[in-house]
Every structure is written in C-alpha cells, then in structure tokens.
Structure 1
Amino acid sequence: MLAALLEKIRSRDSIVGIVGLGYVGLPLLLRFSEVGFRVIGFDIDKLKVDALNAGHSYIEHIPADRIAQVRTRGFEATTDFSRAGEADVLILCVPTPLNKYREPDLSFVIQTTDTLVPYLRKGQLLSLESTTYPGTTDEELAPRVQSCGLTIGQDVFLVYSPEREDPGNATFSTQTIPKICGGVTKHCLDVGMALYGQVIDRVVPVSSTRAAELTKLLENIHRAVNIGLVNEMKIVADKMGIDIHEVIRAAATKPFGFVPYYPGPGLGGHCIPIDPFYLTWKAREYGVNTRFIELAGEVNAAMPDYVITKVVTALNKVRKSLNGASVLVLGIAYKKNVDDMRESPAVVLMEKLQDLGAKVAYSDPHVAVFPRLRHHTYFDLSSVSLTPDTIASFDCIVLATDHDRFDYAMIRDHASIIVDTRGKYLDAADNIVKS
C-alpha cells in the first residue's frame, strides 16, 4: 500500500479530496488542482458547493477566474460524502471553534471523521489541518480510523499538518508558506511529506502528530501573548500621555532583539483568539496552569471595554450620552483589507455599544451585508456609504479595522469624534481620540 500510494502521489495520479471549503480548504484545493492533481471538494454547505461548481468565488481575495480555471481541470465540489472513497487523499480543513464556555469544540472534526469512516479504504492518506490541542489526531481520529479494521501505517496513513493560511497576505501564499507535518507512524510521515512536497516549497517534518499540533498552538500563542503585552503597554502609555504607536515605531528601528506588535480593539481571526484556549484546556489534564497565556487572554479580551470607555469619555466631553448616541464603526472584518469576519473584535464592540443604548451602524468596503455569526448578535445592517454628510451625521466614529480603501483625510475632516483604535491618525487633532 505504501509504495503504491507514494507512486500515485509523486506521479500526481492520485485524487485529492479537500473536506471543508472555507478560508483554508479553498486555497489548498486551488493549489493541488493547479499543479495537476484531480481534486474533489467536500462541504456540507450547498451554497458553497453550487458557487464553486458554477465557477464563482465567495472569498473576496480569491478571484472567480481561479475557480473557473480549476473547473476546466476537472475540479468539482459536492455535498455527497459517500464519494470520499474515490479519493486517495482526504484533507480535513474544518472549523475548530470554542463553545459558549470557551472550551474546545471538536464537533466539526469528530462529526466529519465519523461521516468519512464508512468510506475509508486501504491505500488512503487522511490529513487533519484544523488547529487543535496536542493529542487530537492520536486520541480522536486514530481510533475512529482503526474502528473499520484498517491498520494505520500499513493499510491507511494518518498525519497532522496544521494550516498556516493568512487571508489577504500578498507576500506569502499556500505554496510559499513552509508546511509542518507529523505522522502517527514513520510511514505515515513519509506519505504526508510526499504529498505536501508536491505543492509546498518547503515541508518541515516533526517527530509526531502531537509535536505538529503543539507547533501550531505555539505560533499563535506567541502572537496572542505579545499582542496582550502591547495592549497593556497601550493602556500604560495612554495614562502617561504617550502615543504607544510612536513608541513602537521608534523601538522597531532596533535591528535585533525586538519584533513590533501592534495594539488594537481586541483579537480577531480564526486562530489567535481561539488557539490559546485549546492549550490551556488540555494542559489542565496534566495538572498545569498556563498562567502567562491566560493573563494575556484576559488583557486582550478586555480591550473592547477599554475602547467603550474611550467612546463614553469622548462623548461626555461634548455633553452627550452614549445612550441614544449614533455610532458608526469603521471596518468590521477582523483585519485590514479582507472580508473575513471570524472572531472580529469589531462585532464585540458593536454588541457592547448597542447594549449600552447606542444606535450602531457600520461601514466596511469588504463586507456589504452583516453576516450571521456563531455566538454573536445578528445586526440587520448593510454597510453605510461614506460621504462627508454621512460621516457628519454620526455622533462618533470608531475606527476598528483600518482598511486601505477608507478615505482617512475625508473622515477626519467631517467627523465630530473619531476614536482611533488602530493608530491610523498620527497627528493630533481636536476630534481624534486615540484608543
């Protein structure tokens, strides 16, 4: 089985099944198809499947012409998971969110695996890319694969290779971002390395799936902790009357020993706000309290409240109450220049502002209509078109996500109050409050 599968992968005759066609799965399937693999995309969302089969894209930074091109190469999407048996390779790119108690929610991974198990056969590779805690592949996937009588490392091969997608990043792509891979056995690792080596410039092997799982967590916890540090520094600097963004720019001129991180209204995205909780939850099984990680999480989680305080203070200075005030939130994607709304702190800001009685609206050139989000309030709103009159009509503007397509000079010239959470406005102005 090993030799035959390796030969099919190296000759690119193997069929690759991508399970989960979101921000991770879609770029990956494009890459496999573009280098010559036949690809089948699996998703439970019929709207996504229909869009892809029609040659359309539902992710802003992925153009429709790339979808249309891979369709001509034989790519197809389906909601029929019974077709998993056609694939020689199955790559799971499904969500691993937190539940309402801020605990790991592996339901998507487990349910997807359970759905695939009846169709697994000898000579297949199963790869999990979803971010998760160390032990998930060994403890959750391996027993399910073995339950159908297949021997891992002999009949089928199981690896963990964490996704490292960065939506909208023009510098690094699926091809150029190095790939971590860990296998349940050596033969599993050999197959995983062979597969990803066909589409990724550099594949980095590690000794186990647990090491690969912890690698992904470390990458994002590193960012979460450092962002927590700089968010705390922002509060200290503000009390001292110092612009933290000026300080960061100055510190970044040091050519060694310093990496700049930037404060904001909170953490967003599919990884950084979530991944630390996967490790802190699992660490408790070993009697370890991850105090440093949890402290950074507390600081970051408190940032929306800090911004709200700034809004209240700014309105008070002009003798207005937040209750009844009209507030326009600029940018509701979790980072600039993308349409990705996952875990966006701007949504938390909108919820808190509304709960305090504000009349909330938003403007985002990348999000035309407010979507329905897991564990968040639904706002029946569309993006407000920015004009001088529109901007002047709001009591307060909160800059939450600093998209390049905003006309910042025009906004500054016509806004009554701007609460800038991103340090976009470098010069002091009477109507700008730095947060």
Structure 2
Amino acid sequence: MAVDVVIIGMGYVGLPLAREAALRGLSVVGLDANPDVVAGLNAGRSHVDDLHDSDIAEMHEHGFRATSDADVIADADATVICVPTPLAEGGLPDLGPVNAAAASIAAYLHPGMLVVLESTTYPGTTDDVLRPMLEAGGLVAGEDFHLAFSPERIDPGNATYGVRNTPKVVGGHTPKCGARAVEFYERFIDTVVQTKGTREAETAKLLENTYRHINIALVNEMSRFCHDLGIDLWDVINAADSKPFGFQAFYPGPGVGGHCIPIDPNYLSYNVRARLGYPFRFVELAQEINATAPHYVVQRAQDLLNDRGMPMRGATVLLLGVTYKADIADQRESPAHPVAKHLYDHGAHVQFHDPNVETWRFQGHDLNRVADLDAALADADLTILLQNHREYDLASISRGARLLFDTRGVTEDGANVERL
C-alpha cells in the first residue's frame, strides 16, 4: 500500500513533523530504530515535551503508525531523515545515524522518490555524503529520484510557532529536486522558502544558530564586566530594547544548552577550518565565552557565600531548573550539568528541584529532586535559579530563600537576592 511519507527518526523533530503531515491528510509512517519508542507510539504514548498522548491518539485516527521495519520505505513516495547528529570528537557531527538512515533508504530507493535530509549538519553533507550512498544502486539524483535538504526549526516549548506556521526552508540538489520538495512540504506547511541549493539550505540553519550563539556570548561577557563596574546589565538591556529598530534583546545566563546553540555552530566552524584552512573566529570565541559561563556562575556563587562568612565547601546549594530551556523536560547539553560539577568540585552539597524532572542523572547516579520546595529553600545556604519555569512562584522563592542567586534576571532586587 502506497505511503505518502516515511519519516525516519521519531524524536523531537520527526514526531511533530509526522503529526502535522498526518493531520493534513498525508499517509504517514514513523520509522525508528528504538523498539521502545515504536511500541510506545503504537500504544498511544508520547515521549516528547510538545506532544501529549492525546496528540498521538489523534495521529492514529488519521492513519499514523510507527515501525522499526525499513521495508516500509519500498512503498513511500517520500522519505524524510530526522535522526540526531550529535557532536563527535574534534567538532565534526556524528553522521552515523544519517548514514544508517541512508543505507535503509538506498535498499528501497525507487524512481520518483523524494529523499529529504532534515538533520542538522555541515554544508555539503546532502550532496557529498548522502547522495553517493543513494546513487550507489544506479539511480541518479535529479534524474531518477529527488534529493533535498530542509533544516528543522523545532523550538520545544514554543506555544506560538510550531511545524505548520514556521516557514520551511528547502534546498534541492537540482532546481527540479527543490521544486518537488517544495510541493511536498506545501501540503502541510503554510510557508515554504526555496534556496538555490542544498548547501544554502544547510548553511541557513547554521547561520540562524550561530547568530544566536554569538549574541548570547556578547551579553554573557558583558554581564561579567558590568558586574565588576557596578552596572545593572538587565536594566541596560531593557533600555536598549526600547529602540524600535536596529536592536534585538539577548540575555545572559548560566550557559547555553539543547542540541542547537552549543553544537550547531561548531559544524560550521569545523567545515571552515577543514575545507578552507582558517578559523571562524566569531564562533570559536563565542564557544569559549559560553562554555565558561557555568564556571563564572559558580565563581559568583562562591563570592556570595564568602561575603556572608560561609565557605562553599560543606554548603548546601539548591539548583532550581535543570533543563536547558524553560517549561520543558529536555536536559540535553543543559548548563545545569557543568554548574553542578563545579559546585561538587568545590565541596558543596548539591540538591535540585525542577517541576518537569523527577530524577536527574548526574555523575553516574540519579539524584531525586527535593520533595518540599519551601522547606528546601529555607534549609539551603544558597539557591541558584538556573531555569525560570512558569510553575515557579518567583515572589515566593525570593521570600523563602535564605540567599538567592538569580541567573535569569527575573526576580526583584532584595537583601537576599543577587542577579547575574
């Protein structure tokens, strides 16, 4: 039976894409190598933040199913690769999952099929890595089948912009490939933007995240010298943000997290060094600044305790919010991990609370979150607000904490409150 699209990888990118396509009337099959993920989806259970079990049930009503059997690709008009590309040693993306997906597609590739890569990677991957694997069986991209790249733009926890109303960038191996990919995505996405080719689409994704990475590094560095100069950076940013043109507000914090911001710019930096022989200095400097943000937070925490006659060693430090972003459960690359490590290295007793996380795996074991937040605030020598989840009552936290270090600039000034 013909299938409109097989989406490979049922994670934070692939599953929301599958839902939107299914709800718009496409026949969709989710292909995932993890049998537990497949079993959960077929039983109506969601494993990503932005989708609930009711969303999966609605997908089933529209014919969605999940499988680990790659032979479903044989019946697909289109396949979309949404597998992870973690950072490997040396700054190169680990293309192992992409290569595995490509091998599965190559085994069932047929004339007229559209193949789209959505996994974030360095420029040239679609044409130089994916295309040769697909063409090994004799079919030629641009002639016998269509090949394109379309960067994912999923923003977990964003209630305003999702798959359907976020413009979709698409670049084809040839103009004909690009047109075929645009036609596919226009079936369930409001706006599709076509680039000249796959490399432009690949680089657009990296530019988006590099822009954010560099501007976050700028305010993270400003937060350090503003503190030393006695300047309230949060007030500075609010004042600058009153300008209706030429400025976009970015805010300092304990570090950057998730898959995109701390990782994607490195793909571009690696590619520039490997292919051109010189550094992408903005990215490398931003990486250096943002990577040291957790250490700076702990330095400030240590100073706060010292000012009150307490050493860090033996102090009880409560961390609030250990996810990389507010109002989600995702802990990938969360700055809470290096913050906790530095605190442990200084001899502190670390506790945590997060309304979205029941257990937090740290240094090889699970830490149970504190059960009574009010009691934990009263008992902790220092509380550090790392993530401003909407479930937190900031006024109550400020009143209840013996000493509060706010790394998000969201609390009011007070004798027991210090902001980054």
Q: For this structure pair, what is the TM-score category when the shorter chain's length is used for normalisation?
A: over 0.9
Percent sequence identity is 43
Correspondent of 2:312 among 322, 336, 345: 322
User: What SS is found at the alignment partner of 2:190?
Assistant: coil
What is the rounded CA distance, in whole Å, between the counterparts of 2:267 and 2:107 in structure 1? 29
Tell me the residue number matched to 2:7: 18
User: What SS is found at the alignment partner of 1:305?
Assistant: helix
How far has the Cα of 1:377 moved from its partner?
Answer: 3.5
Tell me the residue number matched to 1:265: 254
How far has the Cα of 1:211 moved from its partner?
Answer: 0.5
- Is residue 2:386 matched to residue 1:396? no
Tell me the residue number matched to 1:5: none
How far has the Cα of 1:335 moved from its partner?
Answer: 1.1
How far has the Cα of 1:166 moved from its partner?
Answer: 0.6
- Is residue 2:133 matched to residue 1:147? no
Correspondent of 1:222 among 211, 216, 221: 211
Off by >4 Å, runs of 4+ in structure 1: none
Please give the root-mean-square deviation of Cα atoms over the aligned residues, in Å.
1.6
What is the rounded CA distance, in whole Å, between the counterparts of 2:355 and 2:386 in structure 1? 13
Alignment of 1:19-418 (within 5 A): 19-284=8-273, 285-370=275-360, 377-418=363-404
What is the rounded CA distance, in whole Å, between the counterparts of 1:432 and 1:144 in structure 2? 57
User: What SS is found at the alignment partner of 2:17?
Assistant: helix
Counterpart amino acid of residue 139 in structure 2: L
What is the rounded CA distance, in whole Å, between the counterparts of 2:183 and 2:205 in structure 1? 21
Moved more, 349-358 or 401-410: 349-358
For residues 280-301 of structure 1, the C-alpha deviation after alignment (integer angstroms, 9 at most, x for no partner) is 1000111231112211111111
| Contact 1:20–1:92 under 8 Å retained in 2 | yes
Counterpart amino acid of residue 73 in structure 2: A
How far has the Cα of 1:386 moved from its partner?
Answer: 4.1
What is the rounded CA distance, in whole Å, between the counterparts of 1:164 and 1:329 in structure 2? 30
- Is residue 2:416 matched to residue 1:431? yes
| Contact 2:171–2:198 under 8 Å retained in 1 | yes
How far has the Cα of 1:78 moved from its partner?
Answer: 1.1
Residues 425 and 219 of structure 1, relative CA distance in 2, 3 Å threshold: same
What is the rounded CA distance, in whole Å, between the counterparts of 1:257 and 1:331 in structure 2? 33
When the two structures are superposed, what TM-score results if normalisation uses the length of structure 1?
Answer: 0.93
| Contact 1:21–1:93 under 8 Å retained in 2 | yes
How far has the Cα of 1:138 moved from its partner?
Answer: 0.8
| Contact 2:171–2:196 under 8 Å retained in 1 | yes
| Contact 2:395–2:411 under 8 Å retained in 1 | no
What is the rounded CA distance, in whole Å, between the counterparts of 1:103 and 1:183 in structure 2? 23
Tell me the residue number matched to 1:4: none
What is the rounded CA distance, in whole Å, between the counterparts of 1:53 and 1:104 in structure 2? 31
User: What SS is found at the alignment partner of 2:171?
Assistant: strand
| Contact 1:96–1:109 under 8 Å retained in 2 | yes
When the two structures are superposed, what TM-score results if normalisation uses the length of structure 2?
Answer: 0.96
How far has the Cα of 1:366 moved from its partner?
Answer: 1.1
How far has the Cα of 1:180 moved from its partner?
Answer: 0.6
What is the rounded CA distance, in whole Å, between the counterparts of 2:86 and 2:227 in structure 1? 33
Consecutive unaligned residues of structure 1, counting only runs of 5 or more, are: 1-12
What is the rounded CA distance, in whole Å, between the counterparts of 1:177 and 1:168 in structure 2? 14
User: What SS is found at the alignment partner of 1:33?
Assistant: helix
What is the rounded CA distance, in whole Å, between the counterparts of 1:267 and 1:387 in structure 2? 25
User: What SS is found at the alignment partner of 1:212?
Assistant: helix
How far has the Cα of 1:14 moved from its partner?
Answer: 4.7
User: What SS is found at the alignment partner of 2:360?
Assistant: coil
Residues 312 and 101 of structure 1, relative CA distance in 2, 3 Å threshold: farther
What is the rounded CA distance, in whole Å, between the counterparts of 1:404 and 1:142 in structure 2? 45
Counterpart amino acid of residue 123 in structure 2: P
What is the rounded CA distance, in whole Å, between the counterparts of 2:306 and 2:24 in structure 1? 59
Report how many residues are paired: 419
